[in-house]
Amino acid sequence: MQYALYYWTGIQGRGEFVRLALEDAGADYVDMARVHGDAVMQPFLDGHSEGAQPFAPPFLKAGRQVIAQVAAILDFLGPTLDLVPQAASRRMQALQLQLTIADLVAEVHDTHHPIAVSKYYEDQKTEARARAAAMRDERLPKFLGYFEQVLKANGGRHPLREHSYVDLSLFQLLSGLDYMFPRRMQALWPTLPLLRALKDRVEQRPGIAAYLASERRLAFNTNGIFRHYPELDGEK
């Protein structure tokens, strides 16, 4: 089956979590907005296309089905792409972990947009500094410490004891945090040896390595979720 992925062009955001799964599995897919422009998404967002109406991208079209929300998309793709264990209990565990990743991603976004998504970062810099301090000191150690514990409890290499879409999503999360908070992550990495090793292993997987070296992989930038503003990383 050929999949159609819909996500904004030029933005290194939530769509990347889905793209990594498709690339790792060597799936046949079309990045619709990159081929046809962002306007190709509007009929779906307006409810004028076949399938369930998504609230926002990313969303995936598979045959007649339209699936939105990163965790739901990955739960849908996992069995077909062999990126999740077959047991229902393990699939549920994968979804639970993916939703926890989504929680952290939402908090990461709100670090640089703590007041309103509709306002520019420059309009809320004072509030963002305060939010970023709490993120660096409290939230990152809490979330990343949890994922480190999950890895340790499951043998140290994979959160589900075998490769899954959760490994890929943790790679994207850790790569983004490394870009956004380089100083803070440098201090945290010694406490997260299993996560660091997982990130390195995923980066070396054939499909991922080829993707990262291609033009399809957008560099992190200040248009996405993971944005590097030195002042938010504790720099003067």
Write the pLDDT tens digit of every residue in 174-211: 999 999 999 999 999 999 999 999 999 999 999 999 99
* Structural tokens at position 189: 């990495």
Q: Is the pLDDT of residue 39 over 90?
A: yes
What does pTM read for this prediction? 0.96
Q: Residues near 152 by Cβ (< 8 Å), separated by ≥ 6?
A: 194
The residue written with tokens 């939703």 in the block is 99
Q: How far is CA 217 from CA 74, 105, 211, 229, in A?
A: 19, 19, 6, 21
Strands (E), the chain: 3-6, 29-31, 59-62, 65-68
Q: Are strands 29-31 and 59-62 parallel, antiparallel or unpaired?
A: unpaired
Task: Quickly list H helices, 46-164.
Answer: 70-80, 88-112, 125-134, 140-153
